[in-house]
Every structure is written in structure tokens, then in C-alpha cells.
Amino acid sequence: MEEHKRRKRYSGTHPKTFEEKYKEHNPEKYAGTVARVIEKGSTPAGMHLPVMVEEVLGVLRIRPGETGLDATLGYGGHARRMLECLQGRGHLYGLDVDPIEIVRTRERLGKAGYGEDIFTAVRENFAHIDTVARKYGPFQFVMADLGVSSMQIDNPERGFSYKLDGVLDLRLDPENGIPAWQRLAQLGREEIQGMLVENADEPYAGEIAGFIVRQRKKGRVIRTTTDLRRTVEAALDFLPEGGEKRELLKKTCQRVFQALRIDVNNEFEVLEAFLNILPQALAAGGRVAILTFHSGEDRLVKKAFQEFYRQHVFTEISGEVVRPTPEECRANGRARSTKLRWAVKG
């Protein structure tokens, strides 16, 4: 018999830390609490609210019996809705490089009734979609959500958020590569500045890069998320005090963390590899939907789709990006920067 483990208690009337939010980590058991959090426009800790689900399903036009691929499985929100569309016939494959979340999502979808007969989770980077397609495809529908999952953002041990103190890691796959704090220690001033400009269009890239290098020469190591946040704030200390400065520092921290995350995970290179071999993974008439959250990502997707359209590989592509509704943005603040592009293979 499994040993009963008591839940760790917290002080005060409401849980404050990630670990203490036990109800939100078990949404099936505490659905009421989760619903109230979502109603307030927040994302429950340990969860991820899928973005633009209806728009994605409208583009993919999934039919029972088809074989599809969720190239970025994450929490499995999009996957669950795609599985519903299959109505028990066909198969969905889900890719993820995160060894922690892929296990949880497989179990979550299994409990929802989607076992190995209709769903298979594969730990693989979507840059290798050609290898996956040779084994499981070709696919009638493919979707990719390029945003970082809320479970990763909200967990301080993963180091994705400047709001939560933890080791500055930022790796989507914590078992491979080096953490962000080590990567930042390797880069020179011009490399840091270039990274901030290319990955986040950071207007104060020069000031921040220079300050980081000067601090490093004094023996100060940026090892935690708080270290990096305070470094950014110190680098921009010359700005006049006031409400505008507070808002600017917030947005600057968001951009700096984004730029470093993209660099650590080679996200642009991975996306380019995925786009270049995407047509090989699609069956004739196959549909693809891609959600982006950064202008650089969107430019890569737009360029690739247009090129394949000129080559008559794709017979249809989205003329303009599709954006989330105002209602969805109010309900889920993390949806605001989302852009959807789609294409159909000839």
C-alpha cells in the first residue's frame, strides 16, 4: 500500500509559492478553484491554457480517422481538443523535448481516456519532424505552438520568469545543453548586445550588455533570475524615476529573459529546421497551423510559407495573420501577442 504523504502547509490564508498551490496543481480534483483563477484572467500554477483553440481547429479541419502531429505537446490542451475531433478513430502524435512535462501530459491525457491506441507522446525536438514523419507519418494535420508553457514559466526551478527567484536556467530540456547563467558568462559585450537586439528588439541592448560585462570584471556572477532582474534595473538606473520607469523596467526584463531563452534553446535555428522540412512531413492535402509569440518567429513562418507557395508546394496560405479575440485576451493575458498562420499542401 502506498504511503500517505501529508501536504506541506503554508502560512497565511492563501498559498503564495509555486509549491504551495496544491489545488491548482491538481485541476481534476480542484476544478472549482482552477475555474475561479481562470475567471480572474490568470493562469493557474502548473497549468497551461491553450491559445486560439477554435481558430486552430477551424484551420486544421480534423476528420475522424486521420493521423496528425502536435509538434509542441506542452500541457496537452491543443492535443486534447484535436483528439476529441478524431472521435476515437485515427491517431495523434505529440512531440516535446521537456522530460518532465511530457510524462505528466501523457498521464493526464491517458486519464482523460486517450490511451496508446489513439495517442503517442514522443520525446523529440520538432526540428526532427522528418524523422518522426518517416516513422509515423505522413500527417494529415500538424500544429505547432511556439510559446513557452505556463508550467515552465511558473516553476521557479526552471528559471523562466524574472518574477520568481530561482537558478537562471531557461532550458526547455534541462537534461541537455548548458543553463542560461553559464551561457551569459561566456558571451562578450558585442555578443550580448547582438543577442538582445536580434531576439527581442531590445532598445537598451548596449547599456545592458555593457553593464553586465563591467559587473563580470568585478567578479559578480549572474546566477539567478533575481540577479539578472536586478542587473537590468541597475543598468537602467539612469532613467528618470516614476510610473513610466517601472513599466519600462518590467517590459525590459521580459525582453531580456526572452532573448536569453531563445539563445539558450537555439529557438530560431530549430524553427528554421522545422519549417524547411515541414512539407516532407505532410500528406497531400495536409494542413498546418503555427502559433507564434514573437515578431522574429512570425517573420520566419511567413517567409517559409510564402516561398513554398511560390514553389507550388503549398496551394493555400494565410494572407494575413489571425489574432486572438479581445475576449480571449481578457480571459488569458498570455494570449495577447499570439499570431496564427496556416497553410495547405498540394
What is the CB-side half-sphere exposure of residue 153 using CA atoms within 13 A?
Answer: 18
Environment class of 326 (CB within 10 Å of its CB; exposed 0-12, middle 13-18, buried 19+): exposed
C-alpha cell at 192: 550580448
The rounded distance, in Å, linking the Cα atoms of 222 and 82 is 42
Environment class of 320 (CB within 10 Å of its CB; exposed 0-12, middle 13-18, buried 19+): exposed
**Annotation: CATH topology of 174-263:** DNA polymerase; domain 1 (1.10.150)
pLDDT of residue 165: 86
Over residues 296-306, mean pLDDT: 95
Environment class of 9 (CB within 10 Å of its CB; exposed 0-12, middle 13-18, buried 19+): exposed
Residue 242 or residue 260, greater confidence: 260
Over residues 51-71, mean pLDDT: 96
CB–CB of 181/189 below 8 Å?
no
Q: Is 2 a residue whose pLDDT tops 90?
A: no
CB–CB of 213/231 below 8 Å?
no
Nearest to 341 by CA among 299, 282, 312, 308: 299
pLDDT of residue 46: 52
Work out the mean pLDDT of the chain and round it to a whole number: 87
**Percentage above 70 pLDDT, the chain:** 84
**Annotation: CATH topology of 53-151+268-345:** Rossmann fold (3.40.50)
pLDDT of residue 216: 93
pLDDT in tens, 219-234: 999 999 999 999 999 9
pLDDT in tens, 95-118: 998 888 899 999 999 999 999 999
Question: What are the boundaries of each domain within the chain?
Answer: 53-151+268-345, 174-263
Residue 295 confidence class, pLDDT cut points 50, 70, 90: confident
The rounded distance, in Å, linking the Cα atoms of 251 and 159 is 17
Residue 1 confidence class, pLDDT cut points 50, 70, 90: very low
pLDDT in tens, 261-294: 999 999 999 999 999 999 999 999 999 999 998 8
Environment class of 258 (CB within 10 Å of its CB; exposed 0-12, middle 13-18, buried 19+): buried
Residue bearing cell 498546418: 288
Environment class of 94 (CB within 10 Å of its CB; exposed 0-12, middle 13-18, buried 19+): buried
Distance between start and end Cα atoms, the chain: 56
Total residue length of the chain: 346
pLDDT of residue 151: 64
Residue 70's CB: how many other CB atoms inside 10 A?
A: 27
C-alpha separations of 269 from 31, 205, 258 in Å: 39, 22, 15
Lowest mean pLDDT among 24-28, 78-82, 192-196, 236-240: 24-28
pLDDT of residue 11: 58
**Percentage above 90 pLDDT, the chain:** 68
Strand 339-345: give its sheet, edge to edge.
119-123, 91-96, 67-70, 139-145, 282-292, 339-345, 314-317
Q: From the centroid of its chain, how far is CA 296?
A: 15
pLDDT in tens, 170-218: 998 888 899 999 999 999 999 999 999 999 999 999 999 999 999 999 9
pLDDT of residue 38: 44
